[in-house]
Amino acid sequence: MKYMTVFEPTDTGLSVYVPDLPGCVSTGTDFDEAERNIREAIQLHLKGIRDDGGPIPEPTSFVRAIEVAS
């Protein structure tokens, strides 16, 4: 499965979250670390859902860049 992840800059690096998996968040000091950390967070989040007997959410979120005049 491919889940959309949102990376946002912070004062100390990046914050990352997964819109299709509420509560699945992570951080990193740079992009590579943040990506590794959110990948692990997704795996743990999905394991928790499976362990609780819940259904795994299908990815539904997507991103599109919208150009506007400034």
**How would residue 41 be classed by pLDDT, with cut points 50, 70 and 90?**
very high
Residue 68 makes CB contacts below 8 A (sequence gap 6+) with none
Task: Give the single-character DSSP code of 37.
Answer: H
Predicted confidence at residue 34, as pLDDT, reads: 98
Domain count, the chain: 1
CATH number of the structural domain spanning residue 45: 3.30.160.250
- Give the span between the Cα atoms of 10 and 25, in whole angstroms: 14
Residue-wise pLDDT for 7-34, tens only, equals 999 999 999 999 999 999 999 999 999 9
Task: Note down the domain range covering 37.
Answer: 1-70
Single out the residue of 36, 31, 35, 40 nearest to residue 13, CA to CA. 31
